[in-house]
Structure 1
Amino acid sequence: MSSYQPPLTLNTRILALIAEISEQIGQLSAVDEGRQTPQLRRGNRIRTIQASLAIENNTLSVEQVTAVLAGQRVLGLPREIQEVRNAFTAYESMPGWRSNSRVDLLRAHELLMHGLIDDCGRFRRDGVGIYRGEQLVHMAPPPSRVASLMDDLLAWLGTSDWHPLILSCVFHYEFEFIHPFADGNGRMGRLWQTLILSQWRPVLAYLPVEAVIREQQDAYYGALSAADRMAESTPFVEFMLQALSQALAEAACGEPVTDQVTDQVTDQVARLLEVIQGASSLKVSELMAEVGLAHKATFRANYLKPALTAGLIEMTNPDSPNSPAQRYRLTELGKRLLARSASV
């Protein structure tokens, strides 16, 4: 076991969250095999990437990220588009990495920051301070100590007998404290926590906890600052465990119907959902006949594509999108949206 031990005070809140999350994971794993379709996993991965990058001020929406990864042209800053492509490559490469390997950590950073900074895949060589606005909130250790600090942290990760939930959260905090790279530390910390959790329970590989963090971004930074002031990771561990529990709760009942989702529903999309609701699945030609359209391009642009992008409908054969036998059906999110609309 590594002689290095990150400071942490276990309290009743942390222990209660671990018990709650363990139960949630058990429930989710019991039904996951049938529910986690490739399309749903990809959708969760897209939500993860969009949220993690949005925390770092990337302005692309879920729809734009989806379009980028589908190879479509997107009106956006080249750097932001590159960030999306890099993040997807990095998350897809996770299964081949060891969480306690310095080589794999540096390779992950190289993928994540390719074409964005000169020092991708290398520890920083300059001092760095973390600011919120004009206020300095954290001065990271000097660059001369980064390599040894990271080696200690990775050795601890590989030998510690702490619960994986605690391990992942503590690593995330300690990583941000060291701030080992010139840029990309936030997204790397979140990526590596996902890696640690996925190696413990594979169902967590596609859990979009970053989306919860994005919604509670001020609290996320507040927990980091509180941990700095206390000189231990306890406040951050509590925050991250709560975020994990919330993400698991949402996964258990499906993606929530939020006001943001509702706002994406145009009259055309609403009409399409109503048409599909009356059948188990329909072909494009059948859908067009039901909504009274003869021009396929108009139907795809105004009805089909927006509904697919919003996750309200899905293909019955996603592996062959252009199949003549392709049909479309409501997703669970689409069904809940219709149910919500009917109750208003």
Structure 2
Amino acid sequence: MKNKQPPFQITNTIIDYVAEISELVGKLSLTNHLTSSPQLRRLNRIRTIHGSLAIEQNTLSLEQVTAVLNGKHVLAPPKDIAEVKNAYEIYERLEDLDPYSIDDLLMAHGIMVHDLVEEAGVFRSHPVGVVDQEGHVLHFGTLPQYVPDLVSQLLDWTQNSDLHMLIRSCVFHYELELIHPFADGNGRIGRLWHTLLLSKWVPGFAWLPIESIIHANQQDYYAAINAANEAGESTVFIEFMLSAIKASLIEAVNVRDEMSDDVTNKAQLRWNKIQVYLQKHDYITNANVQKLCDVSSATANRILTSLVKEGRLIRCHRGGHWAYELLKK
């Protein structure tokens, strides 16, 4: 039946994520922040491409991806270099794509796998089995004769559903992977289209590197797909993707604050993060501060030393290592 809703449940977790993400979008002033800085836009675009391709076993590091896109020579497999250039080209066209157009979807695939796949820009003509990194079969893709109609129905549902775009985009992402309409490049196109759909809700999402968060949580990404496949519906995948979007927005807020020239503001932000961490943990280490504040070990040490001098933290010995606790007053 045309426009039939794919199977999933609206859970309290999903509702909470939608509310939290919407609040973060407002707090960040997403469009203004992420579209006003050309340097930040390019950095995030490169992180997006690196993350999405790394999920598919592309071997280039973030530095190598940056070098390729800066026109520098990189010693790497030609296929991996071509994937980077192709992905950059289609992400740069994101604003011009219609997220509900089957022609645009095929065109995007053609660019994404240009000179890499025989069936580029067309739906696959052969049956496929989808496997994970260990070679385990996740599921068998839709038989090729049914692919065009199912993709068309999915696009129609995504366009006409009255559900929040945050939910619709996650459902589309999962269902496209389930159909597996292309001979190769399904994951890359699914993530591209997810970003495209979100950018039609809030334009700044075009510059938010959600793919890098997925890459950092790659095992959980595959686990969510597997769990959704076993359940026969996408609820767990929606929850995972919303958590990735939320994490990406939190990171963007932190980056915005890190870019502030106000040193006092930056110090307060870091202290706030440390206080939140210590609400759930008895102590904090240099490594924890590095991760929380996205700083080097030396900077983390300076932050902690400063907080000890200010009388906010006290140094202690935990598990054979130096750590820091809140000073009890």
Q: Same fold (TM over 0.5)?
A: yes
2: CA distance between counterparts of 1:256 and 1:339?
Answer: 16
Deviations 1:156-176 (A, max 9, x none): 112111100001000000000
Pairwise CA distance, 1:340: 3.0
Relative to 1, partners in 2 of residues 1:35 and 1:6: Cα closer, same or farther, differing over 3 Å?
closer
Deviations 1:130-179 (A, max 9, x none): 12323212111100100110010011112111100001000000000000
**Which AA in structure 2 matches 1:167?**
R
Pairwise CA distance, 1:30: 6.3
**Which AA in structure 2 matches 1:109?**
H
Pairwise CA distance, 1:342: 2.8
Relative to 1, partners in 2 of residues 1:30 and 1:81: Cα closer, same or farther, differing over 3 Å?
closer
Pairwise CA distance, 1:335: 10
Correspondence 1:147-226 to 2 at 5 A: 147-226=148-227
Does structure 1 residue 78 correspond to structure 2 residue 47?
no
Deviates more, 1:58-67 or 1:127-136: 127-136
2: CA distance between counterparts of 1:207 and 1:116?
Answer: 27
Aligned residue number for residue 59 of structure 2: 59
2: CA distance between counterparts of 1:148 and 1:18?
Answer: 30
**Which AA in structure 2 matches 1:240?**
M
2:30 touches 2:205 (CA, 8 Å); kept in 1? no
1: CA distance between counterparts of 2:158 and 2:31?
Answer: 30
Unpaired runs of 5+ in structure 1?
258-333
Aligned residue number for residue 44 of structure 2: 44
Name the SS for the 1:9 alignment partner.
Answer: coil
Aligned residue number for residue 22 of structure 1: 22
Give the TM-score normalised by structure 2: 0.77
Name the SS for the 1:6 alignment partner.
Answer: coil
Pairwise CA distance, 1:7: 0.9
1:250 touches 1:256 (CA, 8 Å); kept in 2? no
Relative to 1, partners in 2 of residues 1:27 and 1:73: Cα closer, same or farther, differing over 3 Å?
same
Give the TM-score normalised by structure 1: 0.74
1: CA distance between counterparts of 2:179 and 2:117?
Answer: 19
**Which AA in structure 1 matches 2:300?**
R
1:129 touches 1:140 (CA, 8 Å); kept in 2? yes
2: CA distance between counterparts of 1:128 and 1:221?
Answer: 18
**Which AA in structure 2 matches 1:52?**
S
**Which AA in structure 2 matches 1:16?**
D
**Which AA in structure 1 matches 2:53?**
L
2:34 touches 2:41 (CA, 8 Å); kept in 1? no
Pairwise CA distance, 1:28: 1.1
Aligned residue number for residue 241 of structure 1: 242
Aligned residue number for residue 302 of structure 2: 342
1:2 touches 1:160 (CA, 8 Å); kept in 2? no
Relative to 1, partners in 2 of residues 1:37 and 1:232: Cα closer, same or farther, differing over 3 Å?
same
Relative to 1, partners in 2 of residues 1:91 and 1:343: Cα closer, same or farther, differing over 3 Å?
same
2:166 touches 2:198 (CA, 8 Å); kept in 1? yes
2: CA distance between counterparts of 1:187 and 1:31?
Answer: 24
**Which AA in structure 1 matches 2:74?**
V
2: CA distance between counterparts of 1:221 and 1:69?
Answer: 28
2: CA distance between counterparts of 1:242 and 1:130?
Answer: 24
**Which AA in structure 2 matches 1:6?**
P
Name the SS for the 1:60 alignment partner.
Answer: coil
Pairwise CA distance, 1:70: 0.6
Count of residue correspondences: 268
Deviations 1:247-274 (A, max 9, x none): 10000011899xxxxxxxxxxxxxxxxx
**Which AA in structure 2 matches 1:20?**
E
Percent identity reads 47
Aligned residue number for residue 141 of structure 1: 142
Pairwise CA distance, 1:336: 5.2
RMSD: 2.2
**Which AA in structure 1 matches 2:45?**
R
2: CA distance between counterparts of 1:335 and 1:177?
Answer: 36
1:124 touches 1:182 (CA, 8 Å); kept in 2? yes
2: CA distance between counterparts of 1:57 and 1:128?
Answer: 19
Aligned residue number for residue 284 of structure 2: none
Pairwise CA distance, 1:29: 1.2
Aligned residue number for residue 92 of structure 2: 92
Relative to 1, partners in 2 of residues 1:218 and 1:88: Cα closer, same or farther, differing over 3 Å?
same
Aligned residue number for residue 115 of structure 1: 115
Name the SS for the 1:254 alignment partner.
Answer: helix
1:59 touches 1:80 (CA, 8 Å); kept in 2? yes
Deviates more, 1:29-38 or 1:85-94: 29-38
**Which AA in structure 2 matches 1:117?**
V
2: CA distance between counterparts of 1:246 and 1:222?
Answer: 18
